[in-house]
Amino acid sequence: MKLTFLIACCVLFLGFPVAGFAQDTPEEAQPADSITTPIPAPPGNVTAWDTENDHGHSVSLSWEPSPDDGTGLGNVIGYIVFRSDSPDGPFVDRGVQPAGASGHTDVGSKEEASQDYMADYVDYYYKVRAITADSLVFAESVMVGPVQSYGQWFNTGRIPVLVFVLCFMAITIFFIQKAKSGANLFVRRLAGIEAVDEAIGRATEMGKPILYVLGLGTAADIATIASYTILGRVAKKIAEYQTGLIVPCYDPITMTVAQETVKTAYMDAGRPDAYNEDMVYFVTQSQFAYVAAVNGTMLRERPATNIYMGKFYAESLILAETGALAGSIQIAGTDEIAQIPFFVVACDYTLIGEELYAASAYLGREPLLLGSLKAQDYAKAAVIILAILGVIAMNVGLDGFKDLFYISN
Amino acid sequence: MFTPAPLLALSSSTIGVSISLGLVGLGMVWMLIRSLRARDVDRRIVFLFIFISVSAPILFPITFSETPTPVVKKLFDKVESLPADSKVLISFDFDPAMAPEVQPMADAFTRHCMAKNHKVIFMSLWATGQSLLNQTMRAVLVTEFPEKRDGIDYVELGYKAGNEGVLNVIVSNFRKMFPTDVNSIPLDSIEIFDKIKSCRDLDLIISIGGGKPGIKEWVLFVGDPTKTPIGAGVAAVVAPQLYPYYPKQLLGLLGGVKGAAEYESELVRHYPQFEEVDKPGLRMMGPQTFAHVVILAFIVLGNISFFVSRRRASR
Amino acid sequence: MKRSSIIIMLVVLAMFVISWLAKASSMAGVEDHNIWHGFLITFSAFLTLAILSFLYKDNPFYKFAEHLFVGVSAAYWMSMGFWTTIVGNLIPRISNSLSAFFEVPPIADEWALLLLPDSVTFFIPVILGIMLLLRLSRNMGWISAWPLAFIVGSTAGFNLVRYLRSDFIEQVSSTFVPLLVDWQGTGHFFSHLNLNASGQFVTMAGNWVIFLGVMCGLIYFFFSKEHKGIFGFGSRVGIWILMVTFGASFGYTVMGRISLLVGRLTFLFGDWLGLIS
Amino acid sequence: MKRQVPLALVFIFGIFMIIQYFIPHEKSEWVYEFFLDWIYIIGIFALALGIWSLIRVSYDKIKYRRPNWQYAAITLLGLFFMILFGFDYGRHIFSAEGLRNYMFVSFFDYILIPIQATMFSLLAFFIASAAYRAFRARSALATLLLLAALIIMLRFNPYFGAVTPYIEKTAGWLLNVPNLAAKRAIIIGVGLGIVATSLKVILGIERAYLGKD
């Protein structure tokens, strides 16, 4: 209480006129103020080093909190880190840490044009200042330095990722080899996929086309890539049954790919004559304009079946409901978790998340694709085992186990 | 196309809304009967119901008298109980996407503080908050309180980059982070700041947002060290995550449209002069609840007709 | 065209004109170019209604709005892309004279790739782009696969590591939850048994559900084994949990979706018809 | 040539991107940023391709008087004018004012925005009809779906949710516990699927996107 009163006085009478120089460099401390607020002890044992696993332009610091931080006088409310490129200043403010903090990372810009550009391979000197509520009362650590920043060529923090990448590659390649050697790999049936076939049959009977929507993904979205395989299979069947196919596209590159896929499918089916460039066409690259157009198509062409496979966002429900309105059978598949519920609710069959990828392998029926599907399953088994081990470890207090998975930056 | 206009103008909103309520109610009864006969309704009828239930409360603004929940009341009472000329900081920590939900709160807070003659400091931790801040200043301050003068009754510090860093500095010294206000007038020559050095000198801090940096940061970096009371307004989605801080670290919390509506109605109860001003919170409230109830009703109806038809089938 | 539809057309047209004039007159004095602004607002109101009319059934007005929307939006993205990417990003790097023509500041070389200046390296995407356009030609079409390969390949590599990290490793490690929260013996557990949300029992139950839920979910996504026996049970539990989640997220979204409609109707009743102050 | 080169490219760039992820050094960052820029630039050419396809399809529609051919004309008109305004004649044709051209902006504000917002707002109707149609206790699973949805909806209905703390608690639990578990299971699965598929692409096993030979 008394303290706050003192602070208030100091702010009123002394603080204010001087506060103009608030951005004061460490040199000009005002001994006069020490009467009002006791000066805290400085942070001890400051060390500075180049930040690991980064592109350079950054230095990390650590220090022991001032004895008056929390304990002692308890008037330290934070720390300011100062940097200079020469031992005798001028020092500039490089960031603030709250009370109790014992470290800071000084990250500069890598753009030479930028204000806080921080050059690599240059000597820097650091000070840490313990600040109190009164900006004129503070204590500074001894200066540390010189320290240089530079970029690394390997990110040790990401070793776990590397390990997993290699393991996964190994499993996949192993099973692909196995598949090549003709071992038959069992894959359980997926309701959604079985449905595709009968849906095509139904469309043929009704003499109505099939609408295939690749979603809003770009050509490189993995969901879209999986969708191509399914499209290829569907198109092949359609070509055999001589049913109509409509593929409106949102992304121009996706369109070119889809055209390629459908064309080949028709050739494989031995009916290149039946293929027609306008089956696969570009609409527009604007979400709701695309939806508007597809909705229109649904109500005008009255497709027997709508297949939605790929990436979908808010439009998922609009599409699915309009499709239901048009009385089409609807089969959906997406890895966009937020949208799965709407498809589940509004469609007849839904491939949930991973099933979409499984479907592409399952439909392709190529041993190679199935091989990688096996690899996925074994990875999942590994996850289950790891999770069980991890839980046990947690409960017997082996926290080290979790650190095996720790990825720094 | 314009014929309804005079009619609506004449009809007091209560009549209008009761009519539409009756319509919807009757419709529901009719559908209940249909469902009991196990007949499904065409979805167009569903659409129609939604349309009516949303548009009616918009046309005849039905303001359910919101009785504020304690978590809102406490915040209101705090602003109310502060003596005139208290220093209140309002931080706009949100973006246009969140704005429909939380901007009403910002407006309500601003009105309340102005009515109580508090000195208000506006700032934002979000780059996108700046424009929304200006929006509130234009819509509320300049138009409704022309007598209030910039720099004396309120000051706009605007946006400063640095997220929590900003808070870390202003906790000890505003001038370090904000040498000037948005109009680049040095704080030293701004009357409000005569007596303000750091966040400690504020009587109340209100953070409006729902993302990071936001309420959590204000509590951890400013509220806890300085013991300055902090109030918050957030999007409905994030409200549950903040309840743990109430009441120890958070004075009060407005959650989503509902919270805004409660505050607005409380405001009107104390300050009748705000009867006329637009109350988006309350306005949004009607349609949302109304339509929401209708949807729930539909789910129930759907199941009734389903069960009836199934019993028929089993017979 | 049937007579009835012609009549409808005329009626709508008449209403449009009326509302336009009314709007314009109501804006007179308040705004300059009130005729033009009246038209714009009336037109966007018309488009709004046209789209909404789709809820009843497909109709010429919806078709009109839809086709207009498609054309305009495609052009919009084209212009956007041209100005932001070609003019904003490509030209300043490859040619000073061109950037002078477009009045954009040239971007300094970063000598990034193989020590070639940007002005050279940035011709590569242009060439790839042109290759893509070549697909329009009958006999050179095959070359369009090259830029495709570049895009697909690099994004595949990009996705592989990032998803492995964020969707796999980090998710797995966050499944390591303590199943015995501050366990002080069975006796203590049952004596302190209570149902408040932060209580030991509830947290523990929660952790168990999370752990088993993830397990069963994964089992459901197992493809190389028939879902039978204990395995089948696991997958069934998995799908139950999935369904609960889907229901929950659906219910969660409802409120937000309604406010979208509120926004539109406020435009119709307020900005256009001026029924709400 | 026609087959091998693309597959080789995919492999090279794929592997490069994987390696790049482990090299924090500026140089690798630069290359990475360049690739992203490149992809955007190629995208624009592709967009031109798309516009071409749009024009051709609409043109054919008109030429062969396909059903609704009149509307195709509207599409073309909209396209034409918007591009015209977009490539504005401010200071000289192709001035960067393109996007600030008055007509361009008004087209955006009074055609694109209203239609877009309205399309989006259709969700309010569809979410209702979907709920009515699908939330029926047909089977055990459907019932679970229904109950979960009901509880959450009651929770977020400001009038029921507030009054019954029980619903509030249950809803909170649903969102924090089973929801978390299921989402995590899906995410892990999807993650695996994506990783596996990317790998297949890089190794040239999954090549549907090139069109089979």
pLDDT above 50 (res A7): no
Q: Residue holding tokens 């509302």?
A: C19
The residue ranges of every structural domain in chain A are 44-147, 156-181+370-403, 191-365
- Chain A residues near residue C214 by CB distance under 8 angstroms: 387
**Contact across the interface for C224 and A219, Cβ inside 8 Å:** no
- Chain A residues near residue B220 by CB distance under 8 angstroms: 98
Q: Which of A327, C57, A346, A306 is nearest to D131 (CA)?
A: A346
Q: What architecture is the A191-365 domain classified under in CATH?
A: 3-Layer(aba) Sandwich (3.40)
**Mean pLDDT of the region B21-31:** 85
**Confidence band for D131, pLDDT divided at 50, 70 and 90:** very high
Per residue in C226-245, pLDDT (tens digit) is 888 888 899 999 999 999 99
Strands (E), D19-78: none
pLDDT above 80 (res B72): yes
What is the model's pLDDT at position B13?
A: 64
Q: Which of C75, D53, C58 is nearest to A289 (CA)?
A: C75
Torsion of CA C17, C23, C28, C30, to 10 degrees: -150
**Mean pLDDT of the region D46-54:** 90
**Contact across the interface for A7 and B194, Cβ inside 8 Å:** no
Q: A107-116, B12-21, C111-120, D128-137: which has the highest mean pLDDT?
A: D128-137
pLDDT above 50 (res A9): no
pLDDT above 80 (res B83): yes
User: Nearest CA to CA, how far is D173 from chain B (Å)?
Assistant: 11
What is the model's pLDDT at position B131?
A: 78
- Chain B residues near residue D125 by CB distance under 8 angstroms: 46-47, 50-51
Distance CA(A304)–CA(A296), nearest Å, equals: 15
- Chain D residues near residue A153 by CB distance under 8 angstroms: 23-25
**Contact across the interface for B55 and C22, Cβ inside 8 Å:** no
Q: What is the mean pLDDT of chain C?
A: 84
**Are residues A210 and A265 in contact, defined by beta-carbon separation less than 8 angstroms?**
no
**Contact across the interface for D41 and C126, Cβ inside 8 Å:** yes
pLDDT above 60 (res B11): no
Top CATH class, A44-147: mainly beta
Per residue in B222-241, pLDDT (tens digit) is 887 778 899 999 887 677 66
Contact A1/B at CB under 8 A: no
**Confidence band for B108, pLDDT divided at 50, 70 and 90:** very high
What is the model's pLDDT at position C80?
A: 82
Query: ipTM value of the model?
Result: 0.85
> CA of A242: how far to CAs of A100, A273, B240, B312, in Å?
73, 11, 55, 42
What is the model's pLDDT at position D59?
A: 93
- Chain A residues near residue C160 by CB distance under 8 angstroms: 165
Query: If you ran DSSP here, which 8-state letter would residue B211 be given?
Result: S
What is the model's pLDDT at position D99?
A: 67
Q: What is the mean pLDDT of chain D?
A: 84
Q: For the purposes of burial, counting CB atoms within 10 Å of the CB of A363, is it exposed (0-12), middle (13-18) or buried (19 or more)?
A: buried
User: Nearest CA to CA, how far is B299 from chain C (Å)?
Assistant: 12
What is the model's pLDDT at position A310?
A: 93
Q: What is the CATH number of domain B70-278?
A: 3.40.50.10160
Per residue in A201-226, pLDDT (tens digit) is 889 999 999 999 999 988 888 899 89
Q: Which of C46, C42, C44 is nearest to C61 (CA)?
A: C46
Q: Which of D189, D173, A401, A341 is nearest to C208 (CA)?
A: D173
Per residue in C9-25, pLDDT (tens digit) is 999 999 999 999 988 88
**Contact across the interface for D201 and A268, Cβ inside 8 Å:** no
List the structure tokens of D51.
């516009």
Per residue in A253-308, pLDDT (tens digit) is 888 889 888 988 999 899 999 998 889 999 998 889 999 999 999 999 999 999 99
CA-nearest residue of chain A to C147? A253
Judged by average pLDDT, the poorest of B45-59, B88-102, C173-187 is C173-187
**Contact across the interface for B46 and D128, Cβ inside 8 Å:** yes
Task: Enumerate neighbours of A (3 or more CB pairs within 8 A).
Answer: B, C, D
Torsion of CA B200, B206, B210, B211, to 10 degrees: -30
CA angle A80, A86, A91 (to 5 degrees): 25
Judged by average pLDDT, the poorest of A179-188, A295-304, C169-178, D77-86 is A179-188
**Contact across the interface for D128 and B293, Cβ inside 8 Å:** no
Contact B280/C at CB under 8 A: no
Residue of higher predicted confidence among A23 and A247: A247
B159: number of Cβ within 10 Å: 18
User: Nearest CA to CA, how far is B47 from chain D (Å)?
Assistant: 6
Q: What is the mean pLDDT of chain A?
A: 83
Number of domains in chain C: 1
**Are residues B49 and B294 in contact, defined by beta-carbon separation less than 8 angstroms?**
yes
Distance CA(A370)–CA(A176), nearest Å, equals: 8
**Contact across the interface for D201 and A225, Cβ inside 8 Å:** yes
**C229 assigned to some structural domain:** yes
**Confidence band for C257, pLDDT divided at 50, 70 and 90:** confident
Q: Which of B112, B140, B117, B120 is nearest to B265 (CA)?
A: B112
Residue of higher predicted confidence among A152 and D165: A152
Q: Which of C160, C176, C211, C246 to mutate to test the interface with D (most CBs of D within 10 A)?
A: C160
**Contact across the interface for D133 and B240, Cβ inside 8 Å:** no
**C72 assigned to some structural domain:** no
Contact A201/B at CB under 8 A: no
User: Nearest CA to CA, how far is A99 from chain C (Å)?
Assistant: 29
Residues 363-392 of A with CB under 8 A from C: 373-374, 376-377, 380-381, 383-384, 386-387, 390-391
Per residue in C33-72, pLDDT (tens digit) is 788 888 999 999 999 999 999 999 899 999 999 999 999 9
CB-nearest to D132 from B46, B54, B69 is B46
CA-nearest residue of chain C to B8? C275
**Are residues A216 and A315 in contact, defined by beta-carbon separation less than 8 angstroms?**
yes
Q: Which of A7, A24, A31 is nearest to B197 (CA)?
A: A7
Per residue in B126-152, pLDDT (tens digit) is 877 887 888 888 888 888 888 888 888
Distance CA(A283)–CA(A292), nearest Å, equals: 10
Give residue C253's domain range: 177-272
* For residue A90, cis peptide bond before it (omega within 30 degrees of 0): yes
**Contact across the interface for B1 and C15, Cβ inside 8 Å:** yes
Question: What stretches of A302-408 show up as alpha helix (H) in DSSP?
Answer: 315-325, 340-346, 354-364, 367-396, 400-403
**C266 assigned to some structural domain:** yes
CB-nearest to B43 from A15, A20, A325 is A325
pLDDT above 60 (res C86): yes
What is the model's pLDDT at position B187?
A: 81
**Confidence band for C5, pLDDT divided at 50, 70 and 90:** confident
Strands (E), D94-206: none
Cβ contacts from B onto D, under 8 A: 69
What is the model's pLDDT at position D97?
A: 54
Q: Which of C16, C51, C249, C258 to mutate to test the interface with B (most CBs of B within 10 A)?
A: C258
Q: Which of C224, C225, C242, C245 to mutate to test the interface with A (most CBs of A within 10 A)?
A: C224
Write down how long chain D is: 213
CB-nearest to D2 from C45, C128, C142 is C142
**C184 assigned to some structural domain:** yes
**Contact across the interface for D145 and A289, Cβ inside 8 Å:** no
Per residue in A12-42, pLDDT (tens digit) is 333 333 333 333 344 444 444 444 678 888 8
- Chain D residues near residue A344 by CB distance under 8 angstroms: 145
List the structure tokens of C204.
């523990």
- Chain B residues near residue A99 by CB distance under 8 angstroms: 225
- Chain D residues near residue C241 by CB distance under 8 angstroms: 178, 181-182, 185
Residue of higher predicted confidence among C190 and A258: A258
> CA of D85: how far to CAs of A116, A380, D90, D94, D106, in Å?
40, 54, 10, 10, 10
The residue ranges of every structural domain in chain B are 12-62+281-314, 70-278
